Amino acid sequence: MGLLSPARGETYVAPAGTVALAGRILAPFLAALAALPAAESAASPRLSALDAQLAPRAQHTAQRVSGPVLRRGLVWWTRLHGLLSLEVAGHFGAMGFDPALLYDTEVDALLDGRGTGTGTGTGTGEGTGEGAP
């Protein structure tokens, strides 16, 4: 069972053209993430299990990235896509904060590895009270 979806055999399958287009769009994104430094600390059992689940799929990407790189891409994509989707739909309008600042803070957190299990420490942490000194 998925978190909010039916059993694995009943999931949505995109048309071949959509899959090809998504691959072309995500190729430079995954290439950029693959260029980031690898995690300095050992992965948790959950991260290791997720990396192992993603590894076969990762080998079908244009760059033949590793499971950890595909995980990083999945985390980045879902967090930033979700944030942008909420902004475009106007859900932040009445909340009284700058969505661009939230986006920048989220990118800094992702670069620092917070929430991705990577702990790369490459981001500035600007605006978050965390990050490189």
Categorise residue 62: left if φ over 0, alpha if ψ from -120 to 50, beta otherwise: alpha
Q: How far is CA 46 from the centre of its chain?
A: 16
Domain ranges of the chain: 13-111
Contact, 75 vs 115, CB < 8 A? yes
Q: How far is CA 94 from the centre of its chain?
A: 27
| Residue range 13-111 in CATH 3.40.50.1460 | no
DSSP type of residue 76: H
Contact, 30 vs 61, CB < 8 A? yes
Confidence of residue 65 (pLDDT cuts 50, 70, 90): confident
Residues listed for the chain: 133
Taking only the tens place, the pLDDT of each residue in 8-59 is 556 788 898 998 898 888 888 888 888 888 766 667 898 888 888 888 887 7
